[in-house]
Amino acid sequence: METTERKTTILLLDDEPIVCKRLKPYLEKNGYEVETFTDSSKAMGRIEERDFDIVITDLKMEGIDGMTFLTRVKEKSPSTQVIVITGFATMETAKQSFQKGVFDFVAKPFKLSEIHEIVRRAEKKLRQEAASM
Amino acid sequence: MQNFCAGSSVTGDGMARTIRAKILAITVVSLLFTCMVSLIYVWQIMNLSRMLFNAQRFEDLLNDILEVRRYEKNFLLYGDPKNLTESLVYLKDTRITIKTLAKDIDRVMGKGTYVKFANLLEKYSFIVDNSLKNKSITSEDAEKLRTYGKKLVDIANSLVSRKRKLIRKTFGHTAAVPFVFLGVFVIVATLMVQLVFQRLLKPLKVIEDTIERVGRGDFSPIPGEWSEEDEISRLIRAFNSMAHELQVNQEALIQSRKIAAIGTFTAGIAHELNNPLNNICLCADTLIEEYADELSPEVRELVFDIIQQAERAADIVKNLLDFSRTDRLVLSCLDLREVIQKTYRLVKNQIMLAGIRFEMDIPDDLPKVLGHFRSLQQIFLNLFLNAIQAIESHGSITVRAVEDSNEFIRVDVIDTGKGIKPEDLKHIFTPFYTTKGVGRGTGLGLSVTYSLVKKHGGHIEVESEIGRGSKFSVYLRRCKPELCENGERSVNSGSG
C-alpha cells in the first residue's frame, strides 16, 4: 500500500559497488527514495545532514565499520530502522547488532525479494510507531 | 662369602610369581643351606678334636699295655717278682682307662670288643696276681700270660690304627665341606644371574628400546606375551596401555589441531567469498526481476543455472563457516527423543522417497543429554543425510540410544548402506575428504559433525563394513543439573 505523501527514505551503505548498483534501482522501482554509499565516512557525513527512515548497512568495511556507523545512526535518530547485511554472520555480531536496536540481520548472499520483504516489514513498524506517538 | 640378610618367609597368595618373591625365596633357601653347612662344619671340627683326644688315650692305653708286657718279659726272663708289682700298677691304670673308653672301643672295633678286652685283662691280672702270691709261675701259666699279653697288644694296636684311619677319613670329609659350599654358591649365583638377566635386564632393554621408539613417534606396543603377574610384566602391560592412550590422544590432538588450522583458514576464505557470491546472486536476480519478459527461455535457463550454482557455492561457504565457528555453545539439558524426532522431520520426505525404513529405539527413561538443540540437530542431520546417500536403494536407518556410562549417553546411527572402505575410515572426519562423486558433497559434513560433537564435550566413533553398512556412535554427556547453563533441571523419568 503506497502512500501518496512522502516516499520512505533509505540509505544504503556497502563497500561493494554492485550491491549499491543493483539494490538502488530495484528499491526505487518499488517506490522508495534511495541514496547509496560505498564509502562509510561519506555516509557518516550524510546522516549528520538528514535522517533516513531506513538504513541498510554492511558490517565489515574499510575505515568506519558498520557497527560504529549504525551506533551513530541510532544515536542521532532512534526511530530509524537499521537493517544489517553481512558476509560474515556470527552469533556474536548478530547478538551485538540486536543489542544496538537493529531491526533485522541478513546474511549474504541474499535475494532482492528478501531485502524487499524486510524493508516492507521495517516500513510497517515505522508506521505503527508513528501512529502510536 | 655372601652377606645374607635374614629374610622373612614368603607368604601371601600370588606373591610367589613376582620377581621379589623369587629373589626372597632363593635368599631364604641359601641362608638355610649356609646355616646347615656351617653347623655341619662346626660339628665336624668338634668331632675331630674329640677324636684326636681319644686317639691320644688309645695310644696311652697301648703304651701302658706295652709297659705291662715289658715287666712280664723281665719277670719271665729274670724271675724278679718286683716286676709283677710294677706290672700290676700299669694293669690297674689300663683297667681304669678302658672303662672310660668302653663306648669308644666298641664303636671303633665293633660291639663286644670292650668286654673281650676287659676279660683278657682280668685273666691276665689273675695270673699276675697268682704269680705274685706264689713268687713263681708255672710254665703253663707263663705260656697263657704270653698269649694274653700278645692279644692285648694286638687289640690296642688295632685300636690305635683304626682310630687314626677314622681321623683321616673325618679330616677328608671336613675338607670337602667348603667345596660343597662353593658348589652350591655357584648354583645359587647362576640362578640369580639367570633370573635377573632373563626377567629384569632383558625386558628392561626392550622397554628402553621401545621408549626410544615412542619418542620418535612410533606408538606400537612392546611385542610378546606379558600375561604373567611379575613386576616387569605388569610394568610392560602398563607401558603398553600408556602407549595406546598416547597414540589415541596424539591422533585426537593432531586431528583437532588440523581442524583448528583449517578452520581459521576457511573462515577467512569463506568470508571473502560471500561478497562476490552475493554480487553474482544479486546480478542474476536483477536480470530475472527486471528483464524477465525480454529473455528467451534458453537465456532464462542460463540465468537460473547461474543462481542455482551461486546458491550451491553459498551453501559450501555456509558449511565452511559452520565448521570453523569457534563460538562456545550454550548447553542445556535436552530430551534426545525430541531432538531426533525433530531432525527426522527435516529429512522425512527424502527418507520416504528413497524407500528407506527409519527406526528409532530410544528408551523412555533415557536421561537427558547436555547439548545445544540446533547443533545436535545439525549433528544428526549430517549423519542422516550421509546414511541416506550411503543407502543406494532400499535399506534402513536405525537410531538407538543407550546409557554408555555414568557420564555418557551413546547414540548409534546405523545404516544398511554400502559401507566405508577401511582406508577411507580414518579420513572421514578430515575436512574436504569425500568419497562421494563430484558435486554430491562438500566433504565437510562429517568434520562439522566431529567439531560440533567435540564442542559438546563428547566424541564420535565409527565402525563400518563394506556391503553391510556403517555405524556412527555419538557419545554425548549426560545431563547433570550443575552442568546446565540455563538452569533447566533434568528429570530422569522421561516426560515424553
- Residue that wins the pLDDT comparison between B286 and B315: B286
Average pLDDT of B245-266?
79
Binding-face residues of B in 246-275 toward A, CB within 8 A: 267, 270-272, 274-275
Q: How confident is the model at residue B77 (pLDDT cuts 50, 70, 90)?
A: confident
Question: Does A44 reside within a domain?
Answer: yes
Q: Tell me which residue in B272, B281, B327 faces A109 most closely, judged by beta carbons.
A: B281
Q: Which residues of A touch B285 (CB under 8 A)?
A: 22, 111-113
Contact in structure between B67 and B154 (CB atoms under 8 Å)? no
* B96 has pLDDT over 50: yes
Disruptive mutation site among A27, A106, A111, A117 for chain B (greatest number of B CBs within 10 Å)? A111
Rounded-to-integer distance, Cα B128 and Cα B95, Å: 14
Q: Which residues of B touch A18 (CB under 8 A)?
A: 279, 282-283
* B330 has pLDDT over 50: yes
Unique residue bearing C-alpha cell 662346626: B42
Average pLDDT of B363-377?
89
Dihedrals phi, psi of A90, to nearest 5 degrees? -120, 165
Rounded-to-integer distance, Cα A101 and Cα A104, Å: 9
* B484 has pLDDT over 70: no
Whether chain A has a CB inside 8 Å of the CB on B328: the answer is no
**Which three cell numbers mark B461?**
566413533
pLDDT for the residue numbered B38: 87
Rounded-to-integer distance, Cα B487 and Cα B50, Å: 98
CATH 1.20.1440.210 occupies which residues in chain B? 15-197
The answer to whether B275 contacts A22, with C-beta atoms less than 8 Å apart, is no
Average pLDDT of B249-274?
79
The answer to whether A108 contacts B277, with C-beta atoms less than 8 Å apart, is yes
Q: In total, how many domains does chain A have? A: 1
CA B434 to chain A, closest CA, distance in angstroms equals: 25
Q: Which residues of B touch A91 (CB under 8 A)?
A: 325, 327
Whether chain A has a CB inside 8 Å of the CB on B225: the answer is no
Disruptive mutation site among B266, B273, B277, B282 for chain A (greatest number of A CBs within 10 Å)? B282
* B323 has pLDDT over 60: yes
Virtual CA dihedral for B444, B450, B451, B455, nearest 10 degrees?
150
B408-415/B469-477 β-pairing? antiparallel
Question: Does A2 reside within a domain?
Answer: no
Whether chain A has a CB inside 8 Å of the CB on B316: the answer is no
Rounded-to-integer distance, Cα A24 and Cα A46, Å: 17
Q: How confident is the model at residue B476 (pLDDT cuts 50, 70, 90)?
A: very high
The answer to whether A109 contacts B283, with C-beta atoms less than 8 Å apart, is no
Annotation: CATH topology of B327-483? Heat Shock Protein 90 (3.30.565)
pLDDT for the residue numbered A77: 92
Question: Does A3 reside within a domain?
Answer: no
The answer to whether A16 contacts B289, with C-beta atoms less than 8 Å apart, is no
Average pLDDT of B136-159?
88
pLDDT for the residue numbered B496: 30
pLDDT for the residue numbered B488: 42
The answer to whether B290 contacts A26, with C-beta atoms less than 8 Å apart, is yes
Three-state DSSP at B459 gives strand
Disruptive mutation site among A108, A110, A112, A113 for chain B (greatest number of B CBs within 10 Å)? A108
In chain A, which residues have pLDDT < 70? 1-5, 133
Tens digit of pLDDT for each residue in B200-227? 888 888 888 888 988 888 888 888 888 8
B15-197 belongs to which CATH class? mainly alpha
* B413 has pLDDT over 50: yes
Range of the domain at A127: 9-132
Query: B358: Cβ–Cβ under 8 A, 6 or more apart, which residues?
Result: B344, B351, B396, B397, B399
Question: Does A4 reside within a domain?
Answer: no
CATH 3.30.565.10 occupies which residues in chain B? 327-483
Which of B399, B371, B364, B370 is CA-nearest to residue B492?
Answer: B364
- Chain A nearest-CA residue for B320: A88
* B130 has pLDDT over 50: yes
Q: How confident is the model at residue B380 (pLDDT cuts 50, 70, 90)?
A: very high
Cβ-based interface (< 8 Å): residues of A facing B: 16, 18-19, 22-23, 25-26, 29, 60, 87-92, 107-113
Tens digit of pLDDT for each residue in B333-360? 899 999 999 999 888 888 888 889 999 9
* CATH code given to domain B250-326: 1.10.287
Helices (H), B334-372: 336-353
Q: Which residues of B touch A92 (CB under 8 A)?
A: 327
The answer to whether A22 contacts B282, with C-beta atoms less than 8 Å apart, is yes
ipTM for the assembly: 0.86
Q: Tell me which residue in B272, B277, B290 faces A109 most closely, judged by beta carbons.
A: B277
Any idea what the CATH number is for the domain that residue A54 is in? Answer: 3.40.50.2300
- Chain A nearest-CA residue for B311: A109
The overall average pLDDT reported for chain B is 83
The answer to whether A16 contacts B321, with C-beta atoms less than 8 Å apart, is no
B146 exposure class (CB count in 10 Å sphere: 0-12, 13-18, 19+): middle
Q: How confident is the model at residue B6 (pLDDT cuts 50, 70, 90)?
A: very low
pLDDT for the residue numbered A22: 92
Question: Does A101 reside within a domain?
Answer: yes
pLDDT for the residue numbered B224: 80
